[in-house]
Structures are given as structure tokens and as C-alpha cells.
Amino acid sequence: MDAAHAVTASPRADTPIMRAPILRARGITKRFGHVEALRGVEFDAHAGEITALIGDNGAGKSTLVKILSGVYAPTEGTIEVDGAPVSFGSPADAHALGIETAYQDLSVCPDLSPSANMFMGREAVRPGWLGRLGFLDNASMRRDSAVAFQKLKVALKDMDAPIASLSGGQRQSVAICRAAMWAKRVVFMDEPTAALGVVQTARTLDLVKRIRDTGIAVVLISHNMRDVIQVADTVEVLRLGRRIATMPNKNLSVQDLVGAMTGALDAAAGLAEPEAVA
């Protein structure tokens, strides 16, 4: 462990019961040719908690999330789910273990209804020979989608209208609910409030907390430090491809988070800046 990590990382000793993480990554390194995007990163996500993943542009957040969700394979390092070593060959492997991602671009089809988007790529078919012919069971998909929306207290103005007719906040809610409906263990949320107004942001953050309260581990990737402070239980900080700090959200300030991201806290403590990723 380097000196910067030793000083800025905060142990979870104040947690009454130390629980094993539902998702654990150790020594994650990722190289793209001669470029080393991640260097020995460690990461934990716990059930029923929101872990914020922050860092400046180029810190390695997106690369780490893509590795943990099966998009990329790590060059080095290990991943465990519920204590068992796993190897993701594709996002489908992560989905099979209950790990889902709500992307910043939403990945929704604007011409389809909310229920059709909820089951996109996982469409339910009719029972019997109609199903074998490929007929969709739209009634069951609509019913199950309504249950998922109700569980997370998401109210849509029209369950049958194309999603393009919904507000930006409601489209975001559909994308997040879709991830939560299929997730059994972990949901990654990539900048869920980036394009939203004040009211829509507040509703989306409430939705994130409700998902956390169902027992799912939520990983929030965000550049909005106020959002992070409002909802996160723990903050993981990346800088130049390394995890610099793990900070329980105990009276954290925006200055604390920005200082950890930029190295200002290290500078104040007289510590050396980590080497830039080559």
C-alpha cells in the first residue's frame, strides 16, 4: 500500500458488523496496448449500500465499471461475487449473476412502450405453440413492469405510450427500474442525474435510495459531489488509474471529495502525487 492510500483511505472500523462484500475486486489492472488505464485497483460493493465511485476525467471509472459488468476483461486481477471467484466473458455473464448497469445514455428504444423497454432483449413469449412461433406475451410483460414500477414508487403518465413521449426524468426512471428489476445483486448507475433538472434529480436520487433499500448493492458513478454526499454510504475515489481513498460518508464535504480527487489532500499532507498513467 502506498503512502497516499494509507493516509487518505478510511477504514470501516466504525461499522458495527463487518460484512463480506457482495462484489469484490482485487488488483484490477487494465492495459490497452501501452496505455495502463487501471493499476492494481481494489473495489468492494456491499448489499443494501450505495457506493459512490468518483474521480476526475481519465481516472479510470468507466474502465473499472466495464470490467465489473463484463464489457472488458481485466489484464490482471480477480473478481469475486458472494465470495466465489468469477470470470466475465461478456455482459451476459454478469447479468446471469444478477449484475446490471443503467448507462448514462439510457439505452432505451424511444419508439417502444415502458414495458417493452423493461423487457428489451429478454422478451417473454406466449405459452404453448404461439410462444414457439415467437408471439410475445405483452400482457405479462406489462403486468410485471407495472409491479416493478409500483415497487419502486415510479408513476408514469402512460404505460402504453412510446417512451419518447415521457419526460427526461421518467425515461431515466424506466432505465433505472429496468436495471433494478433484473438485478439480484448489484446495479451500476452511470451519471443518472447528469441531464436532469432540480426536481427530476431529487426524484431520481430518491429512486436510487429505494433500490438500495431493497437490499441490492448500488454503485453510483457521478461527477456531482452534492448528489454523492446526499445518497452514498461509502465513497471510492480513483485518481490516475488507482484507488486513492475509501471514505465512509460521515460528515463528508464537497471540499473533502474534491480534495481527494485532485490530490489537494495529499498535497496538504506533504505526500507525493501518484505517477501519471503511461
Listed by start position, the domains of the chain span 1-98+183-278, 110-182
User: Do residues 217 and 186 touch, judged by C-beta distance below 8 A?
Assistant: yes
Q: Using one digit for the tens of pLDDT, what is the confidence trace for 166-188?
A: 988 888 889 999 999 999 999 99
Residue 10 has pLDDT above 50, yes or no: no
Name the least confident of 6-10, 133-137, 228-232, 260-264.
Answer: 6-10
Q: Tell me, what's the pLDDT at 192?
A: 87
The model carries a pTM of 0.83
Q: Tell me, what's the pLDDT at 159?
A: 87
Q: Using one digit for the tens of pLDDT, what is the confidence trace for 191-230?
A: 888 878 888 889 889 999 999 999 999 999 999 999 999 9
Phi, psi angles (nearest 5°) of residue 238: -105, 145
Which distant-in-sequence residues (6+ apart) come within 8 Å of 122 by Cβ?
Answer: 182
What is the percent of the chain with per-residue pLDDT over 70, rounded to a whole number? 88
Q: Tell me, what's the pLDDT at 198?
A: 86
Look at the domain 1-98+183-278 and name its fold: Rossmann fold (3.40.50)
CB neighbour burial string for 69-108, b if at least 16 within 10 angstroms, e if fewer = bbebebeebebbbeeeebebeeeeebbebbbbbbbeebeb
User: Do residues 141 and 112 touch, judged by C-beta distance below 8 A?
Assistant: no
